[in-house]
Structure 1
Amino acid sequence: MSRVTLLREVGRPARARHRTSDKISRRRMLCAAIDIGSNTTRVLVAEPEEGQLRKVMEQRAYTRIGKDVTRGGGEISEEKLHEVADVVCTQVRLAQELGAEAIRIVATAAIRKAANGEEVATEIERAAGVPVDVLSDHEEGRLAFIGATKALGHPVEGEIAVVDVGGGSSEVTVGTIAGGVSEVHSFAIGSGVLSEDLITGDPPGPVEIRKLRERIEDFFAGVELEHPDQAVAVGGSATSLRRLVGAVLEYETLERGVRVLTSDPAVEVAKMFELDPRRVEVLAAGVLLLEQFSQMLGQPLQIGKGGLREGVILEMLSDGTTGEAARAA
């Protein structure tokens, strides 16, 4: 598999690109988005309110499905499949109990890359009773861009880069509010994969941090990204870092994050900052990836309040797209 995929929308004027309408349904339609990621499986239930989303419920489970792909020869085990299916079934039931009128389940890098990914998606769909969409890297980036930019809550001029560091892959999606997404850079590197390969200590020591930096620098050698007017970070690593260092990720704050994560065991850091220890275990790799992207983009990263799941729901609510979502039973 190529380490990086660049997808551009070409052959159409900027305003004709596939993008979600700025108009959100005025009817208070409660929607749910479930995201099966490499590190976590998350559900968001939300409805439109004054041009934004009002979040009714959020829940996550650290299923670490990407670990199987890394360690299991590229396949997701039957045991892990049943674990994730149980989590998804519970999240579907919770969304239905809250009155969700439409539910969409999406899967990202782990299932996308797994040798048995199609079988896994089919089995989860059968158990949950809701279709599972295995997103392409372009769709993943596009939906994260929609969720991140809409959640900014204020007009943004110029070009925006949305950085989504996941467990099994990372995407940098570039575009504008008016024109939508112009290109998606997808990189076959993520916090979970790096942590599985290179981190054994708790906390990780200087040698492990050095190896992480070297792996990341080698991976991105020769890769160049254009500098946007603004950069936004979304995903689990970014949102967790908000608790450690604040809402803006730049060299000083990211280095502070590394110091925190290498000073105490994961369980102690988790207690101090009200995080899950399993998230802390992969966070050092996430910090260093975000640092790399900040350097490549020539911009500090503002931690976004929306991302993939918000983008999924916004697309469900936008004119003419709600029919693509599965109706809740």
Structure 2
Amino acid sequence: MLVADARDGRLTELLQRRAFTRLGRGLAPGGAIPAARIAENAGVVAEQVSLAEQAGAQSIRAVATACIRVAANREEFCRAMREYGGVDVAVLDGEEEARLAFLGATKTLPERLEGRVAVVDVGGGSTEIAVGTVDGGVEWWRSFAFGSGFLADAYLGDDPPSPDQLDEVRYHAAQMLATTVPPPVDVAVAVGGSAASLRRLVGDVLGRESLAAALGELTRGPAVDVAARFALDPQRVRLMPAGLLALEAAGRLLGQPLHIARGGLREGVLLDLAGM
């Protein structure tokens, strides 16, 4: 993920430039990212850096999360991003990823969140849960080695996925969280690509009924058809049932519906750059 600090209105447009590279696709924990996929990602990063510079960015920061964090050749990846992508990459550990996601989620909502807040960040290769307050920041956090990409690759072989495959994802997510005891919270917030995309299907709150409705929509037909119906990327749609079930498991753990945030890790990086 790359973010840039610019001084004009083009920043908002720049932040919406996304590319699906699926670096972790088929990658076992601790495995090496194939050279071709590193080269592809370097090209994407170089393009994003160029766009940021054209927009007048004063500083650029690139960060990497779970996939790169656990890769056997993470140093090779970072070197390629520096030499061919034109930017140094900071590999975030789980704690820093949780902190930045919490910052981006809690500081970009239209209304102030009172009490203790949980932020759930379901990424492609990991899920972070952070608990704290808006003023005090993160008090408790955990990082879990599963995300929408990992779960989809491991279990969702059919398009659309079968009920049995969905049950396997649900069971895996539940087992990963089974021994976790977070502090009690007053409100829970969801960030990440799956959560943001689910807003198009069911609105701003992910509760039991809305999650069930969204899962029904996502499994009604092939990913390409669902994508066309909701103006989503087909690759994103393929991952969304897994991401949804990860969010469902987190919401159950926290005992709260999940309110979909307007910001997350990316916005947290920007706010951190700004010293907020």
TM bucket, shorter chain: over 0.9
Aligned counterpart, 2:127: 170
Q: Is the 8 A contact 1:166 1:235 kept in 2?
A: yes
Aligned counterpart, 1:270: 227
Instruction: Find 2:21's aligned residue among 63, 71, 85.
Output: 63
Instruction: Find 2:267's aligned residue among 304, 310, 320.
Output: 310
Aligned counterpart, 2:84: 127
Q: Is the 8 A contact 1:173 1:181 kept in 2?
A: yes
CA–CA separation in structure 2 for the residues paired with 1:47 and 1:314: 13
Aligned counterpart, 1:250: 207
Aligned counterpart, 2:256: 299
Aligned counterpart, 1:116: 73
Aligned-pair distance for 1:70?
2.9
Structure 1 portions without partners, runs of 5+:
1-34, 36-42, 320-329
Instruction: Find 1:140's aligned residue among 94, 97, 114.
Output: 97
Aligned counterpart, 1:183: 140
Q: Is the 8 A contact 1:68 1:76 kept in 2?
A: no
* Pairing of 1:41-56 with structure 2 (within 5 A): 43-45=2-4, 55-56=12-13
With normalisation by structure 1, the TM-score equals: 0.80
Deviations 1:164-206, CA, capped at 9 Å, x for gaps: 0001000001111121111221111111111111111100011
Aligned counterpart, 2:113: 156
Q: Is the 8 A contact 2:155 2:168 kept in 1?
A: yes
Q: Is the 8 A contact 1:45 1:55 kept in 2?
A: no
Task: Give the secondary structure class of the aligned counterpart of 1:86.
Answer: helix
The structure in which a higher percent of residues are strand is 1
Deviations 1:127-158, CA, capped at 9 Å, x for gaps: 12221100011111101111111101332221
Q: Is the 8 A contact 1:45 1:56 kept in 2?
A: no
CA–CA separation in structure 2 for the residues paired with 1:266 and 1:62: 15
Deviations 1:91-119, CA, capped at 9 Å, x for gaps: 00011011111100000000001011121
Deviations 1:203-251, CA, capped at 9 Å, x for gaps: 0011111111222222222322222111110000100100111110000
CA–CA separation in structure 1 for the residues paired with 2:11 and 2:153: 36
Letter in 1 for 2:254: L
- Runs in 1 of length 4+ with deviation above 4 angstroms? 43-49
Does 148-157 or 290-299 show the bigger shift? 148-157
**Aligned sequence identity (%):** 47
Aligned counterpart, 1:11: none
Task: Give the secondary structure class of the aligned counterpart of 2:27.
Answer: helix
Max Rg structure: 1
CA–CA separation in structure 2 for the residues paired with 1:146 and 1:280: 27
Aligned counterpart, 2:38: 81
Asked if 1:234 is matched to 2:191, the reply is yes
Instruction: Find 2:56's aligned residue among 81, 96, 99.
Output: 99
With normalisation by structure 2, the TM-score equals: 0.94
Structure 2 portions without partners, runs of 5+:
none
Asked if 1:224 is matched to 2:181, the reply is yes
Task: Give the secondary structure class of the aligned counterpart of 1:171.
Answer: strand
Asked if 1:196 is matched to 2:153, the reply is yes
How much is the aligned-residue C-alpha RMSD, in angstroms? Answer: 1.8
CA–CA separation in structure 2 for the residues paired with 1:248 and 1:309: 21
Deviations 1:252-275, CA, capped at 9 Å, x for gaps: 000111111111100000001110
Task: Give the secondary structure class of the aligned counterpart of 1:168.
Answer: coil
Letter in 1 for 2:187: Q
Letter in 2 for 1:266: A
